[in-house]
Amino acid sequence: MRTASRLEHIEPFYVMECAKAASELARSPACADKPMIFLNIGEPDFTAPPLVREAAERALRAGRTQYTHATGLEPLRERISGWYAQRFGLDIAPSRIVVTAGASAALQLACPALVERGDEVLMPDPSYPCNRHFVAAADGVPVLLPCGPEQRFQLDAAGVESAWGERTRGVLLASPSNPTGTSIDPAEMGRIVKAVRSRGGFTIVDEIYLGLSYDDRYGHSALAHGDDVVSINSFSKYFSMTGWRLGWMVLPESLVPAVDKLAQNLFICASTIAQQAALACFEPESIAEYERRRAEFKARRDFVVPALESLGLRVPVTPDGAFYAWADCSAHSGSSWDFAFELMRSAHVALTPGRDFGRHGSERWLRLSYASAMAQLEEAMARLHEVLVARA
């Protein structure tokens, strides 16, 4: 059967190949006495807190399971609006918020709404691979611009202005970023938005890790820089609802009807049960629990980064958000892909090689997810020390 030519521009998700290999090894006799420690997948070990689970149960018992409007439950849009006011001091009208089937669905709506065939969209290298594939799936052309540690692995306004060409339509950023855990300085974000706006382009910012910011300097939404910014967000990370597949996007008022039309046709609506449950995310008891978890993630970061440095796995920019460390493994190997598999076999620790995340020097980098419990992280660092230092 003939497949569509656009698939030629969608690369395999190598992260999942590594995960599959790690899972297979974990089931083998080799791991009987030393179970695999998985630090390769970006999923919090925390799950939805009690009030959220109870809200889902109540909705099920009451039969509140029918379709919602494509833009989402109005009470949920209002609570998200209230969260922006409380957390970031931003006045975001509920009418600008569209609830989606995860952040992935939000990007799947934003890209076809804004990207024409052949339009170029500027993105940082490194960045989350699926984001560029959403652009490609809309028949756009992702343009990856190398961003090193001196730029916090993020685009800046000068880079956007220099790379902007006749076919450039906009930028797709992530702050905090997967895989680096770094954010764009708010002042620099403002300059980027201004540069894009002056060229008639769009600015999409993936903010799914914004709730997991650890530095007051960076923990600000790009929505502060104008109503024309498109923000993508999710209940998966800060709100610990990964498998519930629920997210949202904040749009300019003028773009809401177009996205509403697309959502009606592509998704009908996000999961009603997940939406009913998410109403409880914003209760004071739930927020207190999320903040406790955020502090725990920060403590894990503060342990992991120095531990990696002591192993010769340099982390040149301390992550200020999310739960990833982007480590340079070139002191040990010229190929992070080979090195990740070596550590998988020798230490039974699964990390993610940089292949997925960029095209410029990605073979030097490994991503470690510290979304696992501290005891797991301590054991993983001890095993890596034994392999990389004690045996040297």
pLDDT of the residue at 392: 63
pLDDT at 145 over 90: yes
Are the C-beta atoms of residues 164 and 121 closer than 8 Å to each other?
no
pLDDT of the residue at 31: 84
Query: Which residues contact residue 144 at a Cβ distance below 8 angstroms, ignoring those fewer than 6 apart?
Result: 123, 124, 125, 127, 132, 358, 359, 360
Are the C-beta atoms of residues 162 and 156 closer than 8 Å to each other?
no
Please provide the CATH number assigned to the domain covering 5-47+286-390. 3.90.1150.10
Q: What is the pTM of this model?
A: 0.96
Q: What is the C-alpha radius of gyration for the chain, rounded to an integer number of angstroms?
A: 21
Length of the chain: 392
Closest alpha carbon to 256 in 383, 92, 33: 92
Q: Which fold has domain 50-281?
A: Aspartate Aminotransferase; domain 2 (3.40.640)
- In this prediction, residues 300-308 reach a mean pLDDT of 98
Are the C-beta atoms of residues 327 and 366 closer than 8 Å to each other?
yes
pLDDT of the residue at 11: 78
For 236-267, write each residue's pLDDT tens digit.
999 999 999 999 999 999 999 999 999 999 99
Q: How is the chain split into domains, by residue range?
A: 5-47+286-390, 50-281
Of the pLDDT bands very low, low, confident and very high (cuts 50, 70, 90), residue 234 is very high
pLDDT of the residue at 391: 62
Query: Which residues contact residue 67 at a Cβ distance below 8 angstroms, ignoring those fewer than 6 apart?
Result: 268, 269, 272
The DSSP letter of residue 347 is: T
